[in-house]
Amino acid sequence: MKILFINAQSFKTAFGLHDIVEKYNIEILCVNETFEKPNSPIHFKDWKVYSSPRKDKTGGGSAIFIKPTLNFVTIRKPEYELDSIEMVCIEVKDRSNKTFNIWVPYVPPEKPKLMEELCNVVKKEKLKNLILLDDLNAKSMEWNNPKENSHGKLLENCMTTSNLICTNDGQYTRRNSSSVIDIVLVSQEIYNSVSDCITLTHETVQSDHIAVYLNIQSEENVEIEEMEETWNLKKADWKKWKESTKEKFQHFIFDREEKVQDLYNRFEKEIMECMEESIPKIEKKKVLCT
């Protein structure tokens, strides 16, 4: 499940975002500060949109865009959303019937009461497989800010009581700034399923925030190991190989009337017999994706 999060500072003018979505084969796009207006809904290609525009004034807004796919189904969960902030909550069920909860809230700077409301909802619901992608304007040294603020202290406490883990890679998430405020939090039980969480500092979007890429490995694509037998060339007896091939092929007959496939089959049979005589085999692990 490939997810991209960004504070777009106006979705309509976030030029470069489309290219990143294509490049990383994004399936779920999560956005803060969409600047969506209630009477002018945002859209993205033919993707399904769940959004929460700011009602009383311009700016703000949150949205989740879902790429048309058979890999999972999604439904909105308004019972978790707060009226006091722009927030979108959805439930995602993959093909193995595993359920994830994705929340995309936005809390403006210096609004600790709103931050506390959000933390209280997280603590109350205690959802499993929760993924929070957000610009909460929360600073903490725990996710590599040089100092902390009131939002960060509230969030730290919420993470401790709710078993949430920050998966950011520690890089700054704003251009020309030492701030890490665009963060990804996941429940402890799915932490090991996070194969990538990368701040895309090398990618350019028309916003002073930097996109964060998250890849959650679903159960249907889990890597499993299987043993396979292969030739151990390091232990080959090359002297015996030379003797064996010389003996096998000194009387090998090439018949011009013979079909190419028949000739190949005869040649392969002789080569395999030579290998069996002079090269031992070893078992190695083979990684498969299911």
Mean of per-residue pLDDT scores for the chain: 91
Find the mean pLDDT for residues 11-35.
Answer: 95
Find the mean pLDDT for residues 53-67.
Answer: 92
Domain match, 102 and 189 both: yes
127 has pLDDT over 90:
yes
220 has pLDDT over 60:
no
pTM: 0.75
Domain match, 205 and 158 both: yes
Domain match, 135 and 79 both: yes
1 has pLDDT over 80:
yes
Q: Which of 159, 188, 218 is the last residue in one of the domains?
A: 218
Task: Categorize the per-residue pLDDT at 104 as very low, low, confident or very high, splitting at 50, 70 and 90.
Answer: very high
Domain match, 261 and 198 both: no
Question: pLDDT tens digit string along 271-290?
Answer: 989 999 999 988 876 555 44
Domain match, 156 and 258 both: no
- State the residue range of the domain holding 267: 224-289
| CB 208, CB 174: distance < 8 Å | yes
Q: Which of 218, 236, 251 is the last residue in one of the domains?
A: 218
Q: What is the CATH number of the domain that holds 173?
A: 3.60.10.10
Domain match, 28 and 146 both: yes
Domain match, 239 and 285 both: yes
The CA-CA-CA angle for residues 144, 162, 182, to 5°, reads 35
Distances in Å between the Cα of 125 and the Cα atoms of 15, 189, 190 are 36, 16, 17
Domain match, 79 and 202 both: yes
Domain match, 212 and 242 both: no
Q: Which of 218, 249, 277 is the last residue in one of the domains?
A: 218
How many domains does the chain fold into?
A: 2
Q: Is the dihedral of CA 174, 176, 177, 178 positive or negative?
A: positive
Q: What pLDDT sits at residue 174?
A: 93
Q: What pLDDT sits at residue 234?
A: 86
Whole-angstrom Cα distance, residue 15 to residue 9? 11
Maximum Cα–Cα distance for the chain, whole Å? 92
Domain match, 171 and 234 both: no
- Nearest of 50, 122, 112, 110 to residue 86 by alpha carbon: 50
21 has pLDDT over 90:
yes
Domain match, 184 and 246 both: no
